[in-house]
Amino acid sequence: MSEMRLKFEQVTKENERLHAELKEVLEKQLEAFPFMPLGTDIPADEGIVRNLQEQLQLTNQEKEQAIELWQTVLQEHDRLQRQYQERMTETQIHVAERQKQKVIFIYVFVNFGINQQFLKTVAEQNVELEQLRKQLRYKPDVISAQQRETASDKRLQQMQSSIKQLETRLRVTVQDAEQLRTERTTKYANLEREKYEAVAKIQDCIQLLEEANLQKSQALFGEKQKEEEIKKMKDEMSQLAEDTAARIRKAVDSAKKQYNVQISRLTEELSALQMECGEKQGQIERAIREKRAVEEELEKIYREDRGHESDNRKLEQLHQKYLLAETTKGDLQLSLQTTQNKLKQLEMNSEEEKSRCQEIICKLQSILDSEREKSTFVSEQRLKLQQENEQLQKEMEGLRKLAIEAQQKAKIKISTMEHEHAVKEHGYEARLKEMEDTSQKSTAELRRLLVAQQKATNRWKEETKNLTETTEARISKLKSELSQQKLRSQELISQLEVANEKVTEDEKLMMEYREYINRLQRRLSQAEQRASTASQKVQN
């Protein structure tokens, strides 16, 4: 029982540890899926996670059902052992009490017969003495009286010797009866002690079962509370994930709109500035051409005639045109510089926007990397859980072997107790035969000694017949009770066979549970493959 108690405590501790680890894994999974990047399939990942959680819950439920079945098998085995011990102790107590009653009855019967015989002989001797005294008073023949007295003395001596022999035999029988009584008392005391020990063990087992039930109820209540908390956390986390996803989408959409507006505005400004730059470059080229033409004309005029006054006016006009062209050229160069500065600023802004977008992309890439790391951590935790499940299966096999060994030991004990019971029955029957032989011898001797007293002997014969009938009836009752005990032992053996059949059924159930666990492992592998495909899709 101590070994079974230790195994039960180990199983409960292992169950609590597995529950705690499953809770940690679920919390980590829930923490792993709060934020999802844009472009990923959020509902598919949530469905995979829910499927994995449901499969884990199913495995835990199946494990609890297997532990409950194992506990019921142990309780049934303990109940059968208790019934067998109680019935064996009751039968032994009944047999001892009946043997004790038999010995006391024989002792009382023998003492009663001897006392009656002694009283009758004393009364007869007194009657004979009174008759002799009367004869001595009335008859003068003293010799005949003396002869009668001598004969009576001899008779008295013979009777005294026979009485002494009977007393010695009675002492021997009394000693044997006392020895039997002491043996019965010791055996009865041992049986009572064993009974008290069995009762104490049963009480301890009941207390342990009550404590185990309390612990189980507490654990179930705690598990329910934890499941409710986990459900609440899941709901909160799902709401937070939805809220955060909606906020992120809104923020990204608004940022996209703003950036698109800014980019469109900047592109329009760039196009306008490029148009202005083209126009101004065309104006500059025209001014340069006009300047070249004016310079050529001036050179021609200087070459043709430097002294003409009419040409001076032309020169002044050309000089004014040249000044106007230079002023327009300076203005155009300033406008070109301003437009070039604006273009540089726009290029800087576009580069800043590109760097910001690259930073956002890097952040999203880091989030993807963290999600990949979390998925690898979840796979490692799953491997650990599989290893622990294998360890639990090994422990269940060890417990099954221990249960088989306990059943074999119980069978051996039952066979030994049956053998001892048969040996004791043979001993009791031999002693009963010896007591019957002694009683028959004593009755024969009493008949030989008390032939004269026919009335008393007839009464005594009737009493002995009645006693023999009662003893034979009691012997028949004992035989019937022995047959009933044998039937009870056969019933116990049949109950043990039923228990063995239950054990085989439990083994079949264990095999079915193993097959179901293998199916669940296949489902887990399929779910992992789906998760890997989903992660590949996310990466793509």
What CATH number corresponds to the domain at position 304?
A: 1.10.287
Residue 321 lies in a domain: yes
Tell me which of 111 and 535 has the higher pLDDT. Answer: 535
Residue 299 lies in a domain: yes
Query: With the C-alpha atoms ordered 178, 184, 186, 192, is the resulting torsion angle positive or negative?
Result: negative
DSSP 8-class letter at 453 = -
Task: Give the pLDDT of residue 38.
Answer: 39
When mean pLDDT is compared across 72-81, 116-125, 202-211, 360-369, the lowest value belongs to 116-125
Task: With beta carbons less than 8 A apart as the criterion, state whether 303 and 269 touch.
Answer: no
**Residues 286-295: what's their mean pLDDT?**
74
Tell me which of 522 and 258 has the higher pLDDT. Answer: 522
Residue 41 lies in a domain: no
Residue 217 lies in a domain: no
Which residue type is seen at 309? E
Range of 342's domain?
257-364
When mean pLDDT is compared across 189-203, 307-321, 333-347, 423-437, the lowest value belongs to 307-321
For residue 201, what are the contacts with CB-CB under 8 A and spacing of at least 6? Answer: 1
Tell me which of 163 and 481 has the higher pLDDT. Answer: 481
Position 217 pLDDT exceeds 60: yes
Residue 382 lies in a domain: no
* Residue 90 pLDDT grade (very low, low, confident, very high; cuts 50, 70, 90): low
Residue (of 158, 173, 164, 163) closest to 118 by Cα position = 163
* Residue 126 pLDDT grade (very low, low, confident, very high; cuts 50, 70, 90): low
For residue 114, what are the contacts with CB-CB under 8 A and spacing of at least 6? Answer: 166, 167, 170
When mean pLDDT is compared across 113-122, 352-361, 423-432, 484-493, the lowest value belongs to 113-122
C-alpha to C-alpha distance for 155 and 329, rounded to whole angstroms: 184
Task: Give the pLDDT of residue 258.
Answer: 74
DSSP 8-class letter at 306 = S
Position 436 pLDDT exceeds 60: yes
Task: With beta carbons less than 8 A apart as the criterion, state whether 385 and 22 touch.
Answer: yes
Q: What is the pLDDT of residues 151-167, one digit of tens each?
A: 666 766 776 676 677 66
Query: Exposed e or buried b for every residue in 460-480, given b needs 16+ CB within 10 A?
Result: beeebeeeeeebeeeeeebee
Structural domain tally of the chain?
A: 1
End-to-end C-alpha distance for the chain, whole angstroms:
60
Q: What is the pLDDT of residues 228-273, one digit of tens each?
A: 776 776 677 667 667 766 676 676 667 667 767 777 777 787 777 7
Residue 213 lies in a domain: no
* Residue 34 pLDDT grade (very low, low, confident, very high; cuts 50, 70, 90): very low
Residue 370 lies in a domain: no
Position 283 pLDDT exceeds 80: no
Tell me which of 480 and 80 has the higher pLDDT. Answer: 480
Residue 88 CB-density burial (10 A; 0-12 exposed, 13-18 middle, 19+ buried)? buried
Q: What is the pLDDT of residues 36-59, one digit of tens each?
A: 443 444 444 455 556 656 665 666
Over pLDDT 70: what percentage of the chain?
Answer: 47
Task: Give the pLDDT of residue 53.
Answer: 61
Residue 503 lies in a domain: no
Whole-prediction pTM value?
0.24
Task: Give the pLDDT of residue 345.
Answer: 82
